[in-house]
């Protein structure tokens, strides 16, 4: 998302003008898939569907269409506000950003960003942050949390929103997303996994009157093995909502791509919740309904959001039901999905209403700021939802810090080390920590990227705050060029702070329109030169990087005086003390890179560069297939600067005594899926037109506020159309007949449950062989057997575990596992996950990094060995 106000100036376009598709490369097809499968067939949702469908059977047409749509941009306290059905006891639902905290409010926590969470490689912290996030969203009265983000996956190093997700690997991303969902939903908040799918760059993402949104052209196997993987795990964890991306896939806008929503998401992945559009991503009414969209956000038409009260749905949805175009069961299924998610999270029991207003921090304000005339009232009750969440935020910020280089054990610092500190990123933004709306600037300590995925800081504990709190002897030069008066001494330690920022497309920062166009992969504000100048004057230099992603560090990384380099990623509000704990060695660093650091952008295939302007629909063809990030570096034989998963410690670890145990025997094709359970019965009868009439004397909020009612005449005429000879031009391949069977790859949330059977349990003992306490990560990579007929990346991450803090000499045995799916490839012909060689010897590699594989367990031999040559 979202909030593309400037688009409103491009008004008066018709949807038809933007529907045109151009130049999708040969072979990429957006096939029709109809109808939208009814939800409710998964047993863990049965009770919620029972309650929801009872309610729906009692609701009027206008009540039902009211719940499927937002009431308009800025038409309520939250970034998204649905219509209500108060007679049935359903309030207007509040949907609110974002993935790292409650956006645009106060007394919230600004948690570390997703990429920072990924860098911890710590499943328990992923879950704990999810719980804390859920508590804050619930505390503010929010029904639907608009996170986590697992797409962008991070295919493009310059992509603007990679930092909102957990790293450039589907499995790391999947654990980050699924554990966040489990945490958020454990306290009754509906989580939203987003953005489905292949939403890998910011520029040209949206449909406008000038241009259709960018088309991500992805082959089926790549979609399944990379981009869909984290969504599958999110659905498996029971996520209540999925947000559709702005872009197209294979030329068809995701918000009306029937193959994507009806087939892949609802049939194959068995998604039981509801599908919402990204903000203004809906570009048709009937088309998107038939294609499986369940909720339109924020309710407006993408080209005319601020002008009138027009909507693709609301009253138009009522009309399209009355005139017989959209079948009643499609609407009923959507509303049932929305209410089932609401019941599933227990929101029918004492759920608090919103007590904040994302549009203002004043106590009082307009209730509908998007309306020209709006009643006013108390909109902010200033509820503090922080609890003790600063602790988990600090723990994540600390355990994410990734030590990339540490010559001769230069770090940790001694308490009395004399410090010269350089770079504006060491201290808070002098204009105020929240001076830029949605953090749309990069000034001072960089705790998060910009856009809808940001939150206001309640405070910023900066690195300088941290040094002060330690009474460290330091001199700070709050500038980004090298001062002439720093008076270097050989006993000084110099610490340089640098940043690289990115964000969402609706804000441009220093000529970067979301994506890192101008900044590229270099640190900002001449940081490379600052580091070189400091390294020239000082003998001992530590570089601290606050960054959204990969940077290129070749100009200075090998300088002998650059002794240590730390990535703090995007630490959130707890930037300072978390860093101090690492710098001074209270704890050993235990973060690991959630992506590969290249030596040059030439390391990458051209296809993962940003796409620029094109006449017509920009085409972004994923020709690199499975080969993104480390998968590419391995295949191309390119040695990166730092490998995926790299991260040093102040101590050392050994990996030993590994075992591998067969659990579920493999078969080349998974066991048959379970049959679909029953779904609610819906009437096919068109409701009476009177169910959509404006109630007499109804008091409208204002012209722009969207309602589901029709004028009596319009409703009656629509009802006449239903029996006339007027025919709607349904898309090719359209059918309203529910398919009795789902695809063989489906069967439960996330797919065929047999895919998630554990094939092998692996255990490994990690021993701290150094002299300081520390935590280690065991990363498990799978190498497919040789000689199979599928080209597969050399190694692929499939699981990981982090140890507790181990004292010197202490050991811990970690348990890992690989599932059937982990050992399968997506076969496009049979449309199923198949094990390419059941008896083949899979290499199960365990290491502390993708380039430091310590041992190999073989599935055929059933044994593990430490002295095997690494395949990469
Ligand atoms: C995109 O096109 C490819 C190639 O025809 C096809 O395999 C894939 O299923 C399509 N994906 C979607 C989401 O339509
Ligand atoms: C449906 O409406 C009937 C009649 O108004 C009422 O008795 C019943 O309790 C309602 N059921 C639900 C589930 O709201
Ligand atoms: C739709 O929601 C709005 C806002 O809550 C409300 O004013 C209106 O009465 C609702 N319509 C119906 C049919 O309940
Ligand atoms: C029914 O109404 C919808 C919404 O306005 C419209 O798109 C569709 O063309 C109408 N169908 C017919 C047959 O007129
Ligand atoms: C710091 O203190 C230790 C002993 O407490 C001493 O050995 C060391 O030389 C001191 N370092 C500096 C930079 O003053
Ligand atoms: C870890 O082991 C390496 C190689 O054996 C050694 O060079 C290094 O000093 C050790 N580091 C620590 C902190 O013990």
CB contact at 8 A, 307 and 12: no
Mean local confidence (pLDDT), 62-91: 97
The conformation of residue 472, written as its DSSP 8-state character, comes to -
620 membership: H or E segment, kind and range: strand 619-621
Q: 474-477 and 419-422 as β-strands: parallel, antiparallel, unpaired?
A: parallel
CA of 27 to the centre of ligand 1 (A): 8
What pLDDT is stored for residue 779 in this prediction?
98
**Distance from residue 707's CA to the centre of ligand 3 (Å):** 7
- 278 counts as catalytic: yes
The pLDDT assigned to 621 comes to 98
- The number of the ligand nearest the C-alpha atom of 268 reads 1
For 47, the 3-state DSSP assignment is helix
Alpha carbon of residue 776 to chain centroid: 26
> Whole-angstrom Cα distance, residue 752 to residue 754?
5
Q: Residue 210: its pLDDT value, please?
A: 87
| Catalytic choice (122, 267, 278, 332) | 278
Using alpha carbons, select from 769, 102, 711, 33 the residue that is nearest to residue 456: 102
**Mean pLDDT for the chain?**
96
Indicate which atom in ligand 3 lies nearest the CA of residue 707: 1
Fold of 654-671+748-866: Immunoglobulin-like (2.60.40)
Does residue 58 line the site of ligand 2, with CB under 6 A? yes
* pLDDT top residue among 703 and 104: 104
Ligand 1 mutation pick, 215, 220, 292, max ligand atoms within 8 A of CB: 220
Q: How confident is the model at residue 353 (pLDDT cuts 50, 70, 90)?
A: very high
Query: What's the CA-to-centroid distance between 311 and ligand 3, angstroms?
Result: 15
Reading the block at residue 200, the tokens are 């890998």
Q: Is 317 in the pocket of ligand 6 (CB under 6 A)?
A: no
Q: How far is the CA of 51 from the centre of ligand 2 (A)?
A: 11
Cα separation of 221 and 210, whole Å? 32
Spell out the residues 6+ positions from residue 701 whose beta carbon is closer than 8 angstroms to its own.
Answer: 75, 367, 368, 371, 374, 375
Q: Is 776 helix (H, G, I), strand (E, B) or coil?
A: coil
In sequence order, what are the residues at sequence separation of 6 or more whose Cβ sits closer than 8 angstroms to the Cβ of residue 200? Answer: 151, 152, 153, 155, 156, 159, 216, 620
Atom of ligand 6 nearest to the CA of 409: 13
Task: Decide if pLDDT at 297 tops 50.
Answer: yes
Pocket-forming residues, ligand 4, beta carbon under 6 Å: 285-286, 316, 319-320, 323, 325, 721, 726, 728
15 pLDDT tier (thresholds 50, 70, 90)? very low
CATH level 3 topology of 391-649: Rossmann fold (3.40.50)
Ligand 5 centroid to residue 419 C-alpha, Å: 13
pLDDT at position 10: 33
> For position 308, what pLDDT does the model report?
75
Ligand 6 binding pocket includes 651 (Cβ within 6 Å): yes
Ligand 6 pocket: which of 652, 807, 808 to mutate (most atoms within 8 A of CB) = 652
Helix (H) or strand (E) holding 802: strand 796-802
Contact 337, 347 (CB under 8 A): no
CB of 494 within 8 A of CB of 541?
yes
Q: How far is the CA of 80 from the centre of ligand 3 (A)?
A: 15
Q: How far is the CA of 752 from the centre of ligand 5 (A)?
A: 62
- Residue 227 pLDDT exceeds 90: yes
- The residue whose CB lies within 8 Å of the most ligand 1 atoms, and thus the one to mutate among 250, 253, 260, 743, is 250
What pLDDT score does 103 carry?
Answer: 98
pLDDT of 558 strictly over 80:
yes
Is residue 375 within 6 Å of ligand 6 at its C-beta? no
305 pLDDT tier (thresholds 50, 70, 90)? low
Burial class (CB in 10 A: 0-12, 13-18, 19+), 344: buried
Ligand 1, from 31, 224, 292, 832: best to mutate by most atoms within 8 Å of Cβ?
Answer: 31
Residue 861 reports pLDDT greater than 90: yes
Q: Residue 323: nearest ligand to its CA? A: 4
256 CA to centre of ligand 1 in angstroms: 15
Chain segment 824-836, per-residue pLDDT in tens: 999 999 999 999 9
- Quick one: pLDDT band at residue 702, thresholds 50, 70, 90? confident
729 Cβ contact partners less than 8 Å away, ≥ 6 residues apart: none
Find out whether the beta carbon of 490 lies less than 6 Å from any atom of ligand 5.
no
**How far does the centroid of ligand 5 lie from the alpha carbon of residue 462, in Å?**
26
Determine the pLDDT at residue 127.
99
Does position 415 have pLDDT exceeding 90, yes or no? yes
Q: Is the CB of 770 under 6 A from ligand 6?
A: yes
Give the residue from 194, 182, 201, 82 showing the smallest Cα distance to 142: 82
Other Cβ atoms within 10 Å of 638 Cβ, number: 15
Residues 6+ apart with CB under 8 A from 296: 68, 69, 70, 276, 277, 282, 288, 311, 312, 313
pLDDT at 17: 42
| Chain mean position to CA 405 | 29
Confidence of residue 139 (pLDDT cuts 50, 70, 90): very high
Answer for the pair 557, 376: CB distance below 8 angstroms, yes or no: no
**pLDDT tops 60 at residue 650:** yes
Helix axes 712-723, 315-322, angle to 10 degrees: 30
Give the per-residue pLDDT at 306: 66
Give Cβ neighbours of residue 769 (< 8 Å, ≥ 6 apart): 651, 652, 653, 654, 809
Ligand nearest to the CA of 85: 3
Query: Is the pLDDT reported for residue 173 higher than 50?
Result: yes
491 lines ligand 5 (CB under 6 A): yes
Could you tell me which of 563, 552, 564, 567 has the C-alpha nearest to residue 597?
Answer: 552
Q: Which CATH number fits domain 38-383+678-721: 3.30.530.20, 3.20.20.300, 1.10.10.10, 1.10.287.130?
A: 3.20.20.300
| Average pLDDT of the segment spanning 799-815 | 98
Domain definitions of the chain by residue range: 38-383+678-721, 391-649, 654-671+748-866
CB burial string 469-503: b at 16+ within 10 A, e below: ebebebebbeebebeeebeeeeebbbbbbbbbbbb
For ligand 4, atom 4, which residue shows the shortest CA distance? 320
Residue 9 has pLDDT above 90, yes or no: no
* Cα torsion angle, 856, 858, 864, 868, sign: negative
**At 395, is the secondary structure helix, strand, or coil?**
helix
The whole-number average pLDDT for the span 622-637 is 98
* Residues linked to residue 244 through DSSP beta bridges, in sequence order: 196, 277
- Going by the DSSP 8-state scheme, the letter that residue 175 receives in this structure is H
Length of the chain in terms of residues written: 872
Share of the chain above pLDDT 70, in %: 97
Encoding tokens for residue 793?
């990346």
DSSP string, 186-251: HTTPEEEEEEETT---STT-S--SS-PPPEEE--HHHIIIIISHHHHHHHHTT-SEEEEPSSEETT
Q: Mean pLDDT throughout 256-267?
A: 98
Ligand nearest to the CA of 848: 6
Strand partners of residue 407: none
Tens digit of each residue's pLDDT (9 = 90 or more) over 565-606:
999 999 999 999 999 999 999 999 999 999 999 999 999 999
CB distance 57 to ligand 2 below 6 Å: no
State the burial class of residue 557 (Cβ atoms within 10 Å of its Cβ: 0-12, 13-18, 19+).
middle
Nearest-CA residue for atom 10 of ligand 2: 58
């Amino acid at each position: 998302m979202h909030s593309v106000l400037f688009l409103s100036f491009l008004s008066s376009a018709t949807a038809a003008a933007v529907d045109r598709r151009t130049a999708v490369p040969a072979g990429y097809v957006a096939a029709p898939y109809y109808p939208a499968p009814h939800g409710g067939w998964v047993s863990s949702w049965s009770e919620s569907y029972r309650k929801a469908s009872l309610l729906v059977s009692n609701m009027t047409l206008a009540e039902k269409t009211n719940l499927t749509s937002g009431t308009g941009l800025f038409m309520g306290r939250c970034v998204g506000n649905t219509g209500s059905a108060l007679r049935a006891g359903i309030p207007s639902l509040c949907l609110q950003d974002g993935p790292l905290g409650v956006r645009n409010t106060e007394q919230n926590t600004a948690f570390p960003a997703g990429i920072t969470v990924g860098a911890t490689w710590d499943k328990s912290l992923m879950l704990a942050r999810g719980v804390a996030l859920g508590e804050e969203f619930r505390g503010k009265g929010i029904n639907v949390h608009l996170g986590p983000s697992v797409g962008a996956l991070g295919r493009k190093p310059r992509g603007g929103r990679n930092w909102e997700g957990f790293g450039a690997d589907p499995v790391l991303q999947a654990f980050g997303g699924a554990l966040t969902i489990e945490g958020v939903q454990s306290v009754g908040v509906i989580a939203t996994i987003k953005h489905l799918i292949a939403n890998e760059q910011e520029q040209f993402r949206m449909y406008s009157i000038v241009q259709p949104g960018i088309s991500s052209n992805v082959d089926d196997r790549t979609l399944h093995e990379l981009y869909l993987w984290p969504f599958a795990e999110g659905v498996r964890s029971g996520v209540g909502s999925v947000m559709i991306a702005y872009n197209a896939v294979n030329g068809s806008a995701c918000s009306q791509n029937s193959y994507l929503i009806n087939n892949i998401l609802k049939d194959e992945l068995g998604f039981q919740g509801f599908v919402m559009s990204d903000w203004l991503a809906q570009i048709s009414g009937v088309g998107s309904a038939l294609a499986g969209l369940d909720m339109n956000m924020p309710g407006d038409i993408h080209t005319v959001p601020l002008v009138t009260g027009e909507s693709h749905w609301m009253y138009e949805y009522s009309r399209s039901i009355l005139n017989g175009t959209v079948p009643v069961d499609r609407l009923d299924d959507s509303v049932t999905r929305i209410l089932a998610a609401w019941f599933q999270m227990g929101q029918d029991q004492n759920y608090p209403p919103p007590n904040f207003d994302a549009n203002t921090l004043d106590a009082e304000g307009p209730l509908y700021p998007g309306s020209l005339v709006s009643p006013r009232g108390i909109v902010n009750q200033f509820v503090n939802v922080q609890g003790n969440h600063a602790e988990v935020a600090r723990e994540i910020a600390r355990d994410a810090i990734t030590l990339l280089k540490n010559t001769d054990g230069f770090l940790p610092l001694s308490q009395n080390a004399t410090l010269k500190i350089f770079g504006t990123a060491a201290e808070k933004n002098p204009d105020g920590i929240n001076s830029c709306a949605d953090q749309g600037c990069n000034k001072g300590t960089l705790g998060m990227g910009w856009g809808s995925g940001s939150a206001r800081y309640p405070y910023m504990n900066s690195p300088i705050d941290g040094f002060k709190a330690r009474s460290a002897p330091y001199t700070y030069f709050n500038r980004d060029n090298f001062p002439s008066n720093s008076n270097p001494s050989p006993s000084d330690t110099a610490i340089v702070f640098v940043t690289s920022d990115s964000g969402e497309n609706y804000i441009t920062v220093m000529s970067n329109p979301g994506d890192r166009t101008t900044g590229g992969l270099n640190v900002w504000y001449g940081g490379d030169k600052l580091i070189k100048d400091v390294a020239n004057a000082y003998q001992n230099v530590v570089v601290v990087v606050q960054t959204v992603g990969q940077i290129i560090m070749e100009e200075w990384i090998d300088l002998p005086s650059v002794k240590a380099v730390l990535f703090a990623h995007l630490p959130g509000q707890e930037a300072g003390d978390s860093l101090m704990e690492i710098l001074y060695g209270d704890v050993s660093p235990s973060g690991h890179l959630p992506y590969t650091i290249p030596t040059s952008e030439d390391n990458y295939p051209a296809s993962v560069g940003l796409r620029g302007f094109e006449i017509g629909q920009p085409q972004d063809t994923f020709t690199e297939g499975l080969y993104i990030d480390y998968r590419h570096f391995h295949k191309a034989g390119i040695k990166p600067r730092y490998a995926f998963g790299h991260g040093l410690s102040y101590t050392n670890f050994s990996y030993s005594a590994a075992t591998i145990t067969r659990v579920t025997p493999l078969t080349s094709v998974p066991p048959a899926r379970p049959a679909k359970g029953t779904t609610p019965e819906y009437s096919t009868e068109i409701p009476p037109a009177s169910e959509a009439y404006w109630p007499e004397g109804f008091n409208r909020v204002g012209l722009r506020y969207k309602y589901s009612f029709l004028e009596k005449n319009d409703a009656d005429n629509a009802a006449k159309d239903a029996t006339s000879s007027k025919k709607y031009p349904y898309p090719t391949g359209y059918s309203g007949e529910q398919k009795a069977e789902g695809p063989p790859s489906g069967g439960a949330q996330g797919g065929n449950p047999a895919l998630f059977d554990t094939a092998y349990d692996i255990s490994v003992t990690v021993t701290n062989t150094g002299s300081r306490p520390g935590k280690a990560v065991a990363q498990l990579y799978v190498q497919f057997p040789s000689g199979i007929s599928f080209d597969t990346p050399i190694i692929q991450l499939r699981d990981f575990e982090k140890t507790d803090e181990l004292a010197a000499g202490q050991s811990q045995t970690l348990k890992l596992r690989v599932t059937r799916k982990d050992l399968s490839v997506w076969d496009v012909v049979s449309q199923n996950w198949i094990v390419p060689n059941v008896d083949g010897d899979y290499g199960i590699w365990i290491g502390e990094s993708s380039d430091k594989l310590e041992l190999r367990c073989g599935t055929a031999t059933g044994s593990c060995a430490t002295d095997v040559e690494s395949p990469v």
